[in-house]
């Protein structure tokens, strides 16, 4: 299987890349930090192509197409890029950078993968979004809002693909807190998951072609309950 992973330079994207290499997949790995991608390349030089891609730039879709060409095609697109910070003082840069990366960047790259699979007639798009999209989170307004955007965007693409008779599958992966660079030093998070353990569940969900997968089971129980909390109660929660 030929898999493109955007955001493979660290965290869950990197762990998923290692697991897929163990399974014999051919990978196209992308992110901004080329040196980190070279670590993956060294694991299987003849099965890994690398590309320096910043999802916030306009040439990112062209770079994605060039990577797909170098791989001779793509069967699975796995999107793991993202940034997230707490922003209790609502610093504008943090809010806007998050929208640019998780909103604009996501739309740019998932959209290009969708158009590629539309031309081909079939394919599979999987993306790590988050449980943070379940409700608006006061400590991280733009992070939670962009994650909700990602959840809804995938739902919309699925409906559009079906209406167009395209055989494109979608997997929305929603982890709870995972111990990666994204969270480092931000806060002492509860029920933290290990990235390699989360990656194993991600690969399993992708192979099973799950539509939505919350990781792990504890968060799968908790998140529907958050959704049920009435607005007057949610408004006064001190997170």
Ligand X SMILES: NC(=O)c1ccc[n+]([C@@H]2O[C@H](COP(=O)([O-])OP(=O)(O)OC[C@H]3O[C@@H](n4cnc5c(N)ncnc54)[C@H](OP(=O)(O)O)[C@@H]3O)[C@@H](O)[C@H]2O)c1
- Judged by the rule CB under 6 A, the positions of this chain that interact with ligand X are 7, 9-13, 31-33, 36, 53-56, 80-84, 101, 105, 128, 130, 175, 177-178, 180-183
Closer by beta carbon to ligand X, 168 or else 193: 193
Nearer to ligand X, 60 or 166 (CB): 60
When the beta carbons of 166 and 180 are compared against ligand X, the nearer one is 180
Buried residues in 36-66 as b, exposed as e (16+ CB within 10 A):
bbebbbeeeeebbbbbebebeeeebbebbee
Closest contact distance (angstroms) between CB of 56 and ligand X is 5
Nearer to ligand X, 120 or 182 (CB): 182
Residue 122 CB, nearest approach to ligand X (Å): 25
51 bridge partner residues: 30
Question: Closest approach of Cβ 216 to ligand X, in Å?
Answer: 11
Whether 113 contacts 95, CB under 8 Å: no
What's the angle, vertex CA 12, arms to CA 108 and CA 28, rounded to 5? 55
Minimum gap (Å) between residue 35 Cβ and ligand X = 9
């Amino acid at each position: 299987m030929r898999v493109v992973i955007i955001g493979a330079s660290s965290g869950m994207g990197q762990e998923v890349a290692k697991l897929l290499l163990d399974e014999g997949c051919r990978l196209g790995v992308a992110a901004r930090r080329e040196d980190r991608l070279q670590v993956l390349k060294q694991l299987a030089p003849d099965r890994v192509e690398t590309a320096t891609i910043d999802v916030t730039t306009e040439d990112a879709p062209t770079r994605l197409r060039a990577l797909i060409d170098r791989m001779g095609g793509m069967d699975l697109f796995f999107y793991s890029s993202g940034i997230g910070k707490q922003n209790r003082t609502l610093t504008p840069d943090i809010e806007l950078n998050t929208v640019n990366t998780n909103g604009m960047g996501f739309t740019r790259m998932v959209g290009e993968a969708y158009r590629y699979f539309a031309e081909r007639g079939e394919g599979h798009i999987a993306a790590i979004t988050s449980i943070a999209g379940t409700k608006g989170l006061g400590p991280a307004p733009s992070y939670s809002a962009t994650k909700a955007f990602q959840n809804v965007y995938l739902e919309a693409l699925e409906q559009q693909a079906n209406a167009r008779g395209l055989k494109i599958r979608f997997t929305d992966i929603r982890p709870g807190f995972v111990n990666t660079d994204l969270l480092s030093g931000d806060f002492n998070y509860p029920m933290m998951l290990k990235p390699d353990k989360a990656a194993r569940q991600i690969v399993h969900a992708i192979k099973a072609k799950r539509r939505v997968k919350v990781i792990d089971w504890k968060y799968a129980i908790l998140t529907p309950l958050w959704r049920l909390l009435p607005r007057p109660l949610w408004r006064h929660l001190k997170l």
